[in-house]
Amino acid sequence: MLDKHERNINYMRISLTDRCNLRCRYCMPETGVDNLSHYSILSLEEMAKLVRIASELGIQKIRLTGGEPLVRRNVPQLISYIAQIPGIDDIALTTNGTLFAALAEELKTAGLNRVNFSLDSLVPEKFKYITRRGDLSKVKEAIFEALELDMHPVKINMVVIRGFNDDEIIDFVELARKYPLHVRFIEFMPVGDLLFWKQDRMMPSQDIKAYIEESYALTPQKNILGNGPARYYSLEGGEGSLGFISPMSNHFCGECNRIRLTAEGGLRGCLYDKREVNLKTALKNGSSDEEIKELFIRAIKAKPSRHHMNNGWGEENKRKMYQIGG
Ligand code: SAM
Ligand code: SF4
């Protein structure tokens, strides 16, 4: 379906939960997180029903995210529901990887096509510091398990934070050189726990790329499966590739093809637009599929032409990324 800016909306990100087993410093506060009750979030069956209705409007790609999606029980069950919906041709997952390895085979059998791992440091102590509690070895195990299971393309997302992990950029490049991994460098955004790190920590993609090119030859590549906003480059002699995601320095809103469903059934046109259409209430009230379709159309129509995140530094964004679905 086309929105009013002629963008073809065919991708829905679903937040399975606002809960997480980590507390990344830029994303969640250490304590005082008010989690949604089990009653206020959509059931897996409700999520699958909404995907079916969305698929009838042209949604073809689904990404499961959160919070940490794998802290929710029965994710393979949800994936198998979605995999059976005609018109859905791609199911992907964004995860911190800590719970992935044990579930990997089940997820794949259920129909998961691809996985993105979020990983901001390859140094165990720094990883523990930024996540406040994570165990890096679990994430590494998860990444190799995904490669083993041929869940290509396996992507690694690194949020580059000046003064914290910019000294590891080359180590991440080396991961893409040695393994068939797609490493994406993401600009730090003014969402989440802004009281922690501020604008001066944001390193523009252009600077990251220029720094890498001091040591490596990069060749622009056609986009890798996933239809995402990254610009990809192949690495001379490398197994994988590098990508740069620049929501801040070069917003990709003109190509944005996504809508977002929160765990409590709020449908959003944009991560940074606070307006939501409430689908949970519609489901509870017994609305028909046609009525729910109208609500999807309303959210898609309301999708703004672009975000204004650059104005957001210093404010505390009331709804955080882990609540909307990163
Ligand atoms: N828990 C899962 C994970 O970490 O992959 C999924 C949800 S998480 C909110 C999704 C992504 O959002 C992660 O890659 C995380 O690094 C990213 N993220 C969160 N806050 C961010 C920020 N302020 N700037 C850039 N990326 C951010
Ligand atoms: Fe959890 Fe992902 Fe946020 Fe880290 S970035 S606290 S793993 S939701």
**Ligand 2 centre distance from Cα of residue 188 (Å):** 14
Q: What pLDDT does residue 281 have?
A: 95
* Domain residue ranges of the chain, discontinuous segments joined by +: 11-324
Q: Is the pLDDT of residue 200 over 90?
A: no
Measured in Å, residue 5 CA sits from the centre of ligand 2 at 32
- The mean pLDDT of 248-272, rounded to a whole number, is 83
115 ligand 1 Cβ < 6 A: no
Any ligand 1 atom below 6 A from CB of 191:
yes
Q: pLDDT at position 33, please?
A: 81
pTM of the model: 0.92
Task: Provide CATH code, domain 11-324.
Answer: 3.20.20.70
DSSP codes of every residue in 4-73: TTS-B--EEEEE--S--S---TTTS-SS---PPPTTTSPPHHHHHHHHHHHHTTT--EEEEESS-GGGST
Residues 48-57: tens digit of each pLDDT: 999 999 999 9
**pLDDT, average across residues 203-227:** 87
**Has residue 6 got a pLDDT over 90?**
no
- Residue 307 is predicted with a pLDDT of 64
Distance from residue 191's CA to the centre of ligand 2 (Å): 12
Radius of gyration of the chain (CA): 19
In which order are the strands placed within the sheet that holds 231-235?
Answer: 218-220, 231-235, 241-245, 181-187, 154-160, 114-118, 90-95, 61-65, 11-15, 258-261, 266-268, 277-278
pLDDT of residue 261: 96
Looking at ligand 2, which atom is closest to the CA of residue 131?
4
Q: For ligand 1, say whether the CB of 96 is within 6 Å of any of its atoms.
A: yes
Nearest CA to ligand 2 atom 4: 24
Which pLDDT tens digit goes with each residue over 69-94? 999 999 999 999 999 999 999 999 99
| pLDDT of residue 317 exceeding 60 | no
* Residue of 15, 20, 25, 26 best suited for mutating to test ligand 1, as the one with most atoms within 8 Å of CB: 26
Tell whether ligand 1 has an atom less than 6 A from the beta carbon of residue 68.
Answer: yes
Percent of the chain with pLDDT strictly greater than 70: 88
Tell me what pLDDT residue 215 has: 96
Q: Three-state DSSP class for 159?
A: strand
The arithmetic mean of pLDDT across residues 127-132, rounded, is 97
pLDDT of residue 30: 86
Pocket of ligand 2 (CB under 6 A): 20, 22-24, 27-28, 66-68, 96, 118, 322
Q: Is the pLDDT of residue 319 over 70?
A: no
